[in-house]
Chains A and B, each alone.
Chain A
Amino acid sequence: MSAPTTPGGEQLLFERFGDRGPYFGEFGGRFVPEALIAALDQLDEEYSRAAADPTFAAELDRLQREYTGRPSILTEVPRFAEHAGGARVLLKREDLNHTGSHKINNVLGQALLTKRMGKKRVIAETGAGQHGVATATAAALMGLECVVYMGEVDTRRQALNVARMRLLGAEVVPVSNGTATLKDALNEAFRDWVAHVDDTHYVLGTVAGPHPFPAMVRDFHRTIGVEARAQVLQRVGRLPDLVAACVGGGSNAIGIFHAFLDDPQVQLLGLEAAGDGVETGRHAASITGGVSGVLHGARSMILQDEDGQTLDSHSISAGLDYPGVGPEHAYLASIGRARYEPVTDAEAMEAFGLLCRTEGIIPAIESAHALAGALRAGRELGPDGVVLVNLSGRGDKDVDTAARWFGLVSDADLVASEAERVAAPVEDSEGNGW
């Protein structure tokens, strides 16, 4: 594939490519109330126009280079790789993007579309807070009103990200109904959208949801794989044997996988959150442990009971704690082009600690699932293997969770700090003018 270039000769970061939906095999579609169809059609049409408009690509490119910091770098991690059977391990450093994860790629694209549609308000759901922070960031940058729905359980797990969003001027609405996690935040965002669709765009944060979100969000993240493919070729002199990425909804994984779909020698490995273990029933591994069904507007692989009721998902990682997955992943699994394996909380945290100690990089717990998969795959490939890992986010937000997991500070200190947090919520903190 010959990539288009900017007038200056640089390769464009944004390019529309691949399956455009609404279906990926039997998966995808639009299982939404009729009230949202007009908005989805409008989005689909505007996205098609924008994707064909060089000024849109140029503006998004400028933002990705000058604001996000793209291209993100590729880092080889030899000390970490000693634990991966001696295979070469290279990290695609999405953690170094502005706001600390890959989420900004998609959000900047959707924020530009919001302005093109003449809408003034964006809403978003968030689990770990990364997508919420990215959306709040883009809204601040472009002068849009921003409301972020976040499960109440997650607002406690990720209190610092709540503060970050509020610093950026967003309203954070804790969602206490249902299981009070990411899936309920999505439900609430859909309810808001139905009621405010005239002036509001829903910045969906992953490659799930009704058409055109899965294809559009993927396109905005596709630059991850395009860059990484060229970087690995340059660094190693050949393509990697395997690309590993964590999969909740699956946006970072589809972003890095897509540029390798036509390279049959490159294995694609998605790592799902197995929580306490898929066999315990306390997990979030929708492809490994789910069934074909409908959730949040698309047909995909879902954790549900035999009546079609959505099951609670479980993961130490708030960003992977979701009982569904993007339809294109369900499709790639069904045709065998990508394979999906579970990683338990314990395995992910072991890889998390290992990267910290061997390389001086604190990964997001989500990304630590991909690292655990890379350790496993590297041992299978042996010393000649080359593994590319999407390090989708950084772990600053997870230090509290890690401190508890590894027992790094006394329980008494943690309890005290939590008490202070409850006693002095962010809105009331004094002296900073917010």
Chain B
Amino acid sequence: MSTTTGTTTTAGTATTTTGRASATAIDAARAAGRSALVGYLPAGFPDRAGCVDALRASVAAGLDVIELGLPYSDPVMDGPVIQAAAETSLRGGTRIRHVLESVEQLTSAPDGERAPVLVMSYWAPVLRYGVEAFARDLASAGGAGLITPDLVPDEAGEWLAASDAHHLERVFLVAPSSTPARLASTAAACRGWTYAASTMGVTGARASVGAAAEGLVAASRAAGAERVCVGLGVSTGEQAAEVGAYADGVIVGSALVRALSEEGVPGLERVVRDLAAGVAGSRA
């Protein structure tokens, strides 16, 4: 296994599917003839307990995989909805240790409200915490792994080693602008799945999901990606059904944040049920 660059790692396709792995949930959805539903909330939003409760309710309403955001002061990949939620969380005093506590609470929730948890974090907080220490503490909290929106495999030597050592999934992003060579090196560096950004832009609900997404999923698979989930712009059941027809997972963020902000947990549950109905039977 490589400890230097993503392009030479051999761990990419030899997925370790532990019980906590999100890949397990994605495979289970696929076996049931559908795409998996991956849902994002920033940890500590609207507050620490409220976030955990909202995500447990979302799992009960049909969410397959939890993407728990680690709020960061300078989120360059996020649009206004998630920026505002992250600011709320930080103003509320959310620290990295609180995010890890939330992971632990989510992964020890009762059956029916429990799903694999991936943390999504910009690189600055992980680097400051210590890459090895973060991997160790995330694994011991029961976390499945980490999504890194501003870390490309080229810069990820330390993280590749730490995630190997602690059997964590690592999800890197590909974009419509990625070259075939980068699709291949990124797919090889991922463990669990690859995050395909549907469009060139930041997070946020859009009227239509980028037309490039389907081609990007196909190109990623051709480049060796084992599982490909699509994010950016999905907010409705119809869009989820459309994306779920070709992707292994459908990732929804801003629409969940907005529903929770505006209508609380009941509103969030309604949106999750709509999205879950969208993916149901999507790949039958």
Q: A38-B177, A195-B200, A295-B74 known; A307 and B152 CB under 8 Å?
A: no
Are A35 and B175 in touch, CB under 8 angstroms? Answer: yes
Q: A31-B150, A32-B150 known; A37 and B182 CB under 8 Å?
A: yes
Which residue of A is nearest B76, CB measured? A190
Contacts of A291 in B (CB 8 A): 128
Is A431 interfacial (CB-CB < 8 Å)? no
Using a CB-CB cutoff of 8 Å, which residues 255-304 of chain A contact chain B? 291, 293-297, 299, 302, 304
Is B270 interfacial (CB-CB < 8 Å)? no
Using a CB-CB cutoff of 8 Å, which residues 16-50 of chain B contact chain A? none
Interface centre among B75, B149, B151, B177 (most CB of A within 10 A): B177
Are B72 and A309 in touch, CB under 8 angstroms? Answer: yes
Is A358 interfacial (CB-CB < 8 Å)? no
Contacts of B179 in A (CB 8 A): 38
Is B60 interfacial (CB-CB < 8 Å)? no
Interface centre among A31, A198, A296, A299 (most CB of B within 10 A): A31
Is A427 interfacial (CB-CB < 8 Å)? no
Using a CB-CB cutoff of 8 Å, which residues 166-183 of chain B contact chain A? 172-179, 182
Contacts of B80 in A (CB 8 A): 177
Cα A306 to Cα B129 with chains together (Å): 7
Are B178 and A295 in touch, CB under 8 angstroms? Answer: no
Contacts of B263 in A (CB 8 A): none
Are A294 and B124 in touch, CB under 8 angstroms? Answer: yes
User: How would residues 8 to 38 of chain A score, 1 for a CB under 8 Å from any chain B CB and 0 otherwise?
Assistant: 0000000000000000000001111111111
Is B3 interfacial (CB-CB < 8 Å)? no
Distance between A289 CB and nearest chain B CB, rounded to angstroms:
15
Which residue of A is nearest B72, CB measured? A309
Is A39 interfacial (CB-CB < 8 Å)? yes
Are A35 and B197 in touch, CB under 8 angstroms? Answer: yes
Contacts of A307 in B (CB 8 A): 95-96, 125, 128-129
Contacts of B177 in A (CB 8 A): 34-39, 197
Is A382 interfacial (CB-CB < 8 Å)? no
> Which one of B84, B123, B129, B172 contacts A294 once the chains associate, using CB atoms below 8 Å?
B123
Contacts of A36 in B (CB 8 A): 177
Is B127 interfacial (CB-CB < 8 Å)? yes
Interface size range of chain A in the complex? 35 or more
> Which one of B129, B175, B176, B197 contacts A308 once the chains associate, using CB atoms below 8 Å?
B129
> Which one of A178, A191, A297, A310 contacts B202 once the chains associate, using CB atoms below 8 Å?
A191
Contacts of B219 in A (CB 8 A): none
Cα A195 to Cα B77 with chains together (Å): 10
Contacts of B83 in A (CB 8 A): 177
Cα A197 to Cα B178 with chains together (Å): 13
> Which one of A30, A37, A296, A299 contacts B74 once the chains associate, using CB atoms below 8 Å?
A296
Cα A309 to Cα B90 with chains together (Å): 9
Distance between A364 CB and nearest chain B CB, rounded to angstroms:
26
User: How would residues 79 to 99 of chain B score, 1 for a CB under 8 Å from any chain A CB and 0 otherwise?
Assistant: 110011001001000011000
Cα A62 to Cα B172 with chains together (Å): 45
Distance between B130 CB and nearest chain A CB, rounded to angstroms:
10
Is B238 interfacial (CB-CB < 8 Å)? no
Is A187 interfacial (CB-CB < 8 Å)? yes
Is A92 interfacial (CB-CB < 8 Å)? no
> Which one of A32, A34, A38, A306 contacts B197 once the chains associate, using CB atoms below 8 Å?
A34
Cα A309 to Cα B129 with chains together (Å): 11
Distance between B132 CB and nearest chain A CB, rounded to angstroms:
15
Q: List 22 A-B contacts (CB under 8 A).
A: A31-B155, A32-B76, A32-B152, A34-B174, A34-B175, A35-B173, A35-B176, A35-B177, A37-B182, A38-B178, A38-B182, A178-B87, A187-B76, A194-B77, A194-B201, A294-B123, A304-B124, A304-B128, A306-B128, A307-B125, A308-B96, A309-B124
Identify 14 new A-B residue pairs, CB closer than 8 A, beyond the known A35-B173, A35-B200, A299-B127. Answer: A32-B76, A32-B150, A33-B77, A33-B197, A34-B172, A35-B177, A38-B177, A38-B182, A177-B87, A183-B74, A191-B77, A308-B72, A308-B125, A308-B126
